[in-house]
Structure 1
Amino acid sequence: MARTIPIFAAGKAPSATAPLEFRVSPPLALYVHVPWCVQKCPYCDFNSHEAGETIPESEYVDALIADLQSALPLIWGRPVVSVFFGGGTPSLLSPAAIDELLAAFRALAMLAPDAEITLEANPGTVEAEKFAGFRAAGINRLSLGIQSFNDEHLKALGRIHDAAEAKRAAQLAGEHFATFNLDLMYGLPGQTQAQALSDVETALSLVPTHLSCYQLTLEPNTRFAAFPPELPESDLCADMQEAIEARLAAAGFANYETSAFARAGWQCKHNLNYWYFGDYLGIGAGAHSKLTLHDRVLRQMRHKHPKAYLEHIKNGNAVQEHHEVEAASLPFEFMMNALRLADGFHPSLFEARTARSLHTILPQLKAAEAEGLLDVGPEKIAPTAKGRRFLNVLLEKFL
């Protein structure tokens, strides 16, 4: 007879209010925020600002290096497993600027030799002409903000590229990078399910290793929130989602995270570190950090406006806000990330990342399992298909 392996050891559960003690540091990633765009998209709620004719590239590069230098005491001795240039539009920077930054990162921090180094890029013609230079500088993964291959939908989204530029940029990405991601949106103004699937078919024809497919949502403090366009009904958007997931599965893409699809072996390491509740140092205007120290978890945010950020860097004070995460909040924060993953997490990871025993959330785990939202086993805790579809309901169990 097979022996039953208990998921939870017998005995009294540790107190949820016990002092934190992290015995092993999580993997560390570096996020670099570039806050400028040629034009602010009406749906975008990220910290991005219209660039005007030029951006202060040299000054900003110097500021990023100074920012990293000031943060070194918090990450000293820890290898950096990935770098992600996000924005904004990081491809507005020149290849020479990226080369200078990566050289500085290698000199100052313990950048792993096999680190994944991603750069988000605009599919516009000017940025696409830089792809060879970015690859030579050390970028080894590109992420293109395509959104759609339909000119009408691109116009409705306020994008400055057209479908032909999007296809050409993706083709160039494939020529210069072994791995690249295409961002797509569905549920666009006036979009049909056939049109959403047509975007997916076009994307597949360009042979990316990774796809990110998001439903368009109206975020606060955006132009679309103030002047909302007419979007497809929620049932139609749900049908689009199911059809996209089925088509990508048939094409060999695993839906490993809520909106992320990858061919085998090409998941985004940087984003996986977020979802496994790893650590990240964020530098640049408005960048966020989450850093685990031996007895606490620290969150930081840099000054948001580019001008304010550059001014405070000169005074040696890039950080606008910082606070310790309350121990009682760590279980929910962990779950909010880890339960986005289709494969969930090993039970031991919860304790490693939160310094809390799994006993502290045993009632919530049992309740979610009883409602068919969660599979709980000795080797894996993962959302069911129902749990993935109703992720917010699942997460509320752990608030």
Structure 2
Amino acid sequence: MTGPARLPEAATAFGVYLHWPFCAAKCPYCDFNSHVRHAPPDQMRFTAAFAREIRHFAALTPGRTVTSVFLGGGTPSLMEPATVAALLDAVAGAWVVAPDAEITLEANPSSVEAGRFRSYRAAGVNRVSLGVQSLRDPALKALGRLHDAADARRAIALARGTFPRLSFDLIYARPGQEPADWADELETAIGLAADHLSLYQLTIEPGTAFGALHAAGRLSVPDPDAAADLYTLTQEITARHGLPAYEISNHAAPGAESRHNLTYWRYQDYVGIGPGAHGRFTLEGAKRASAAERLPERWLALVEAAGCGAAVSDPLSAEETADEMLLMGLRLAEGIEPARYAALRGRALSSNRVDGLAALGLVETTAEGRLRATPSGALVLNRLVAELSVPERAQAPPVKLRAAGSATRGADPVTS
């Protein structure tokens, strides 16, 4: 994994994640907290509940300045512009919002309209993340998407003409996908992109339609070695075009990184609002976790009755906070500060383990003293974290090159 040696880091970063859980259809690979309803949801009622839960979390985090807001889902672009405006107004009424705050909204090409996009921009959205997933019609059909490649191109062009910043997603390591086909599709995507791409390997998740097909032997995906080769090819092509990976699955021109997602990966504070949303924030000097009720109607009833549909944990332990920071931070090209790990954990990383992994070519120490995964280490990131996080005298699992699923969407810090 390559990228900038060091990205600007604001110690005071504070994000707000708003989860709109409704979709027009459930994609067969998706295990996010998304729900299809035959009747449209009551947006005014849900808006009031979001505002109430926002006020609840604002009371727990007084005096914070919001540096980013992310409207995720589900499909937030199914929201009426007035709903988006009301949610952003509620955030601004509960906290101070930085003048240069990044305000991102996820959108699907099938729900993109010029007037709606202009209204989102007028409401304060300044960055859009499009769920394109593929620029090939057969692949889009196989992935269960409601749009075709022409829709995707129109949505990208419209977003580029409406918002200051744009990113879009693609899924690769799809069934039957050959390296040459992916290279051609990725080159096309880079030609359409602005300055940010999110490129995820397809993962087969339990409980999804693809999971059932895979278990029945009716769906095959590239084996771990082939998937790793596709990952390496992705890094080479994007770096050559000035969009290096700053995180395992995310690529950007310098300065165009997602500030909200960096808040997750740098293990800074954020609150999660809405059905299924998660949060990590500091309360009374200690990091807490929050997790909301996933079913939208149940969450709505809880908020209307008590002001919040989420449970907040007791203070996370030193081991939990340090391990979460390690897991998130090693996804970044900039890596982690070992001193921060030691401060959170109460003990330093094992120098013997670090040296052993460095000898295997899996980690390296930068000139600034940060620890980061090498390109080979990024392929086995989960095993790498397991090796580093165990105490000196404990037995860690052996590290194998090219572990499956190490650079996939399913491993990302999804808050839904």
User: Could you say whether these structures have the same fold, taking a TM-score greater than 0.5 normalized by the shorter chain as the test?
Assistant: yes
**1:66 equivalent in structure 2:** 52
Q: Distance in 1 between matches of 2:340 and 2:297?
A: 40
1:59-208 residue pairs with structure 2 within 5 A?
Answer: 59-127=45-113, 129-208=115-194
Alignment partner, residue 302 of structure 1: 292
2:342–2:349 CA contact under 8 A, matched in 1: no
SS in 1 for 2:324: helix
Residue 323 of structure 2 corresponds to residue 321 of structure 1:
no
Mapped contact 1:303–1:318 kept (Cα < 8 A):
no
Q: Cα 1:362–1:297, aligned 2, differ >3 Å: closer, same or farther?
A: farther
Q: Is the 8 A contact 2:53 2:309 kept in 1?
A: no
Q: Any conservation in 2 of the 1:84–1:117 contact (CA below 8 Å)?
A: yes
Question: How many angstroms does 1:382 deviate by?
Answer: 1.3
Provide the secondary structure at the position in 2 that maps to 1:184.
strand
Distance (Å, rounded) in 2 between the aligned partners of 1:248 and 1:157: 23
Question: 1:316-340 CA deviation, whole Å, 9 max, x = no partner?
Answer: 2524433232222222111000000
In 2, Cα distance between equivalents of 1:125 and 1:68: 26
Counterpart among 348, 367, 389 of residue 359 in structure 1: 348
| Higher Rg of the two aligned structures | 1
Counterpart contact for 2:280–2:290, Cα < 8 Å: yes
Distance in 1 (CA, whole Å) between partners of 2:195 and 2:43 is: 31
Question: Match of 1:192, as an amino acid?
Answer: E
Shift in alpha-carbon separation, 1:235–1:260, aligned structure 2, 3 A: same
Of 368, 373, 376 in structure 1, the residue corresponding to residue 362 of structure 2 is: 373
- What 5-or-longer segments of structure 2 have no aligned partner? 1-9, 391-416
Correspondence 1:24-43 to 2 at 5 A: 27-43=13-29
2:336: which partner in 1?
345
Residue 298 of structure 1 aligns with an amino acid whose one-letter code is R
In structure 2, the partner of 1:57 is 43
Letter in 2 for 1:95: P
Kindly report the root-mean-square deviation, in angstroms, between the aligned alpha carbons of the 2 structures: 2.0
> What is the identity, as a one-letter code, of the residue corresponding to 1:194?
A
Paired letter, 1:67: E
Ranges in structure 1 where 5+ consecutive residues have no aligned partner: 1-23
C-alpha contact 1:91 1:127 (8 A) present in aligned 2: no
Give TM-score, length-normalised by structure 1: 0.88
CA deviation profile, 1:206-246 (whole Å, cap 9, x unmatched): 13210011110101111111112222333332222222221
Kindly state the Cα deviation for residue 115 of structure 1 after the two structures are TM-superposed.
Answer: 0.6
What residue identity is the alignment partner of 2:265?
Answer: W
CA contact under 8 A between 1:144 and 1:170: conserved in structure 2? yes
1:248 maps to 2:238: yes
Match of 1:130, SS? Answer: helix
Q: 1:335 aligns with which of 307, 322, 326?
A: 326
Q: Is the 8 A contact 2:71 2:106 kept in 1?
A: yes
User: Is the contact between residue 123 and residue 146 of structure 1 (CA under 8 Å) also seen in structure 2?
Assistant: yes
**Contact 1:125–1:169 (Cα < 8 Å) also in 2:** no
Percent of pairs with identical residues:
39
**Cα distance in 2, alignment partners of residues 273 and 320 from structure 1:** 21
**2:370 pairs with 1:384:** no
The answer to whether the aligner puts 1:227 opposite 2:227 as a matched pair is no
From the superposition, tell whether residues 395 and 303 of structure 1 become closer, same or farther in structure 2 (CA, over 3 Å).
Answer: same
Aligned partners of 1:373 and 1:317: how far apart in 2? 47
Partners of 2:61 and 2:199 lie apart in 1 by 33
Rate the CA distance shift 1:281–1:104 in 2: closer, same or farther, 3 A.
Answer: same
Matched residues in 2 for 1:128 and 1:155: separation?
24
Q: Alpha carbons of 1:364 and 1:334: their partners in 2 closer, same or farther (altered >3 Å)?
A: farther
Q: TM-score, normalised by structure 2?
A: 0.85
Superposition deviation, residue 364 in structure 1:
4.1
Q: 1:248 & 1:52 partners in 2: Cα distance? A: 41
Pairing partner for 1:212 from 171, 184, 198:
198
Question: Do the aligned partners of 1:153 and 1:189 also contact (CA within 8 Å) in 2?
Answer: no
1:268-321: CA deviation from partner (whole Å, max 9, x where unpaired): 001111111111100000111111234422111111101001111111252443
Distance 2:336 2:224 in 1: 30
Provide the residue aligned with 1:261 in structure 2: 251
Aligned residue among 249, 256, 260 for 1:270 = 260
Alpha-carbon offset, residue 127 of structure 1: 4.7
Q: 1:238 to 1:376 in 2, by over 3 A?
A: closer
C-alpha separation between the residues in 1 aligned to 2:360 and 2:230?
A: 26
* CA deviation after TM superposition for structure 1 residue 376, in Å: 3.0
Distance in structure 1 (CA, Å) of the matches to 2:23 and 2:45: 17
